Amino acid sequence: MVQMNDVRMVYDNTSAVALDGVDFTINEGEFVFLVGPSGSGKTTIIKLINGEVAPTSGAISVNGFDMTAIRRRRLPKLRRTLGVIFQDFRLIDKMTVYENVAFAMRVVGASGRDIRARVPQVLELVGLEGREKRFPAELSGGEQQRVAIARALVNNPRMIIADEPTGNLDPVRSLDLMLLLEKINELGTTVLVVTHEKELVNAFSKRVIAIDSGRIINDGMDGYYGYETE
């Protein structure tokens, strides 16, 4: 569960107002799209959720952690409840597909036995069976994206956050990816997807939070809102 109350975010170095009084709640088990033009503050919201940055003012609670008072030492605990898929994948080039996913488990102290059992399971879920020994450079953009998803999923997070996951994908693959995220959501994980793609958003009847210039301009089930993309 994510709850933001009147959150303002001004980056110290640029004094750009990234968020200007944001209020919303995402409940356990929800599937939510976050849409808005470039620079509207979408990535900032994600960074606030996983504790990469702290808000200038306002209150944020994520999976029971009070983000305005959280100690640095507790951040790993919070992050283990989240699976973040970055726009640029952020895979480790010198590790194979299998290692990229297994590494996320090793980092949180999973046993070798659990890793060997869990990783193939997740790779199968995202449709990467048979690609285990490849390096990221030997995969297509869509396959790399799936590795990032598998890595986000592998530790059974309570919430999956995807920042423009379809940015590099063609429409068919984008739809596939959304269907995968929907499947994951049906298995009980909360999902937050940041996207620009109107058609994709409208293909699902999900809750959409629309943001512009750091303010929420719409929040509801009525499809893509606001700013038009081609």
Partner 1 sequence: MRLNRFFYLLGQGVKNIFTHGFMSFASVTIIIACLLIMGCFSLLTMNIDTMIDEMQNQNKVIAYVDETLSEDEARALEDKILAVDNVESAEFVTREEAMDNFESDYDDNVFENIDPTVFRHRFVITLSDISLMKQTQAELRKVDSIASVTAHLDYAKKFVTFRNIVSVVSVVLVVILIVVSLFIMTNTIKLATFGRKEEIAIMKMVGATNAFIRLPFVIEGLVLGALGGGIAYLLMWGLYELLTERVMTTMASGIITIIPFYTVALPVLCVFLGVGILVGVIGGTTAIRNYLKV
Footprint of ligand ATP (CB under 6 A): 11, 13-14, 16, 18, 36, 38-44
| Closest separation in Å from C-beta 134 to partner 1 | 10
Question: Which partner from the list Mg ion, partner 1, ligand ATP, none does 126 bind, CB cut-off 5 to 8 Å by kind?
Answer: none
| Closest separation in Å from C-beta 14 to ligand ATP | 4
Q: Which residues of 169-197 are buried (b: 16+ CB within 10 A; e: fewer)?
A: beeebbbbbbebbeebbeeebbbbbbbbb
Beta-bridge partner residues of 215: 212
Establish if 189 lies at the interface with Mg ion (CB under 5 A): no
| Closest separation in Å from C-beta 72 to partner 1 | 8
Alpha helices in 91-170 (DSSP H): 97-107, 112-125, 141-153
Sign (positive or negative) of CA dihedral 47, 51, 55, 59: positive
Q: Please list every residue from 39 through 58 that binds Mg ion, using CB under 5 A.
A: 43
Given a contact cutoff of 8 angstroms between Cβ atoms, the answer to whether 25 and 1 are in contact is yes
| Closest separation in Å from C-beta 110 to Mg ion | 30
Question: Which partner from the list partner 1, Mg ion, ligand ATP, none does 11 bind, CB cut-off 5 to 8 Å by kind?
Answer: ligand ATP
> How many Cα atoms occupy the beta-carbon half-sphere of 164 within 13 Å?
13
* Residue 149 in tokens: 């998803």
Contact residues: partner 1, CB under 8 A: 50, 52, 75-80, 84, 86, 90, 92, 94, 103-104, 107-109, 135, 138, 151, 155
Question: Which partner from the list ligand ATP, partner 1, Mg ion, none does 84 bind, CB cut-off 5 to 8 Å by kind?
Answer: partner 1
| Closest separation in Å from C-beta 163 to Mg ion | 6
Instruction: Give, rounded to a whole angstrom, the gap between the first and last alpha carbons of the chain.
Output: 33
**Contact set with Mg ion (CB under 5 A):** 43
